Amino acid sequence: MSAGITDIAVAKPREVIENDHFTSIGLTDEWIRRRSGIAARSWLPDKTPLAEVAAEACAPIVTRMPDPSSIGALIVISTSIDRRVPGLAPDVAERTCLGPGVLAFDLNAACCGFVYGLVTALSLCDAGRAGSVLVCSVEAMSRLVNRADRQTACIFADGSAAVLVENRPEFSAFRHTAGCDGTQQALMREEAGGIRLDGMQVFDRAVRRMSESARYLFDSDPAPTVVVGHQANGRILEQVRAFTADLGVPFVNRIERSGNTSSASIPLAFAEELAGGTLPTAGRLGAVAYGAGEAWGGVAVDYRITDDVIAP
Amino acid sequence: MSSFESLVREAMLSQLRRRDPSLGPADLDRPVADLDLDSLDLVELHQRLETELKVKGDLRETAGFAFLEDFSTYFTKLASRE
């Protein structure tokens, strides 16, 4: 008996921003595609509360559960949190009608947040400390960037995705690697003018960290059947794909119509693959991420999705 | 030309042709600014040379190179030390 993923759902903003939106700041469709592999991204309306979006992602999962009271913990992951006191998690818990006994808390590990949150959820579940754990990433990165900044405005995007973590007799133990190198905090930082990136260093380190994390996940059986990397930039993803080609499993790149949704990018991309039928509804997910901090990590986890995955 | 230098130039040309298949060996002598390369292309080139030669370079150093020849000299030197 081990913990794994048994359900997934998403909430994606309706407003799609095509590349021609950025001609006003001197960026062309061709340049953005070449630089990032991105053709479009979705942005939330400025006033929409993140808790509302997160609850939209979580609600179908809670509704589909025969006994929602078995949810012992709710982890809401966000870098772009729009409220600090109280945090997002209590609001999401209330909106999804979770009882007062739920261990609900926020987590921020930038673009690596989903890996950190999933490892935490799997650990709680495996230890028998929570029956089921709901893990929800929600981001409005469009609110953190300077929309006139040519380096970041076209890259970042918004969205939410949630997964349910439960114990199942057929699941193998999860495996993870994760860490944080605080000496590299300056590589990605929030300043008065928005998010700033040291592009070349971030590219180089993201490729290395995600490739190394993916490779670690294949060091023991069972190996992942698919790898989903943080959808940071299409060029980074293709380089990681090249560096890990010998691992011989599909490597997911869904950034073209999604952009970089920070911590939400892995579950959103995973859900899109499942909804599109390109991945089987059962297998072993290898999720690898790299983000500000610098936080990095990877987790291999069994999944068996029994409900229809709602197409993002 | 040493075998390392040949290997470096071959790897560089192969990498550059991913961006522009019409490039030939003579283009390796051109300034970086004259080629249709962006900063990420230079990181990819750096990583490609590290992988091919099994060496570890310093991106902060190579990021400032003005000529492709500088990459060749830098990585040939690194590989010769190994």
Question: What are the beta bridge partners of residue A16?
Answer: A42
Stretches in chain A below the pLDDT threshold 50? none
Q: Poorest-confidence range of A44-58, B5-19, B46-60?
A: B5-19
Is A176 in contact with A224 (CB distance < 8 Å)? Answer: no
Cβ separation A200–B47 shorter than 8 A? no
pLDDT band at B29; cut points 50, 70, 90: confident
Q: Do domains A2-168 and A175-304 have the same CATH topology?
A: yes
Chain A: residue nearest B19 by CA? Answer: A34
Q: Answer for the pair A173, A4: CB distance below 8 angstroms, yes or no.
A: no
Catalytic residue positions of A, numbered: 111, 230, 260
Residues near A270 by beta carbon (within 8 Å), at least 6 away in sequence = A8, A161, A228, A252, A279, A285, A287
The architecture CATH gives domain A2-168: 3-Layer(aba) Sandwich (3.40)
The answer, for A202 touching chain B at a CB cutoff of 8 Å, is no
- pTM of the model as a whole: 0.95
A181: number of Cβ within 10 Å: 13
Where are the domains positioned within chain A? Answer: 2-168, 175-304
Cβ-defined contact of A203 to B40 (cutoff 8 Å): yes
Token pair, residue A298, equals 């990877």
The domain over range A175-304 is classified in CATH as 1.20.120.450: no
Which pLDDT belongs to residue B80? 83
Rounded to a whole number of angstroms, the distance from the CA of B7 to the nearest CA of chain A is 19
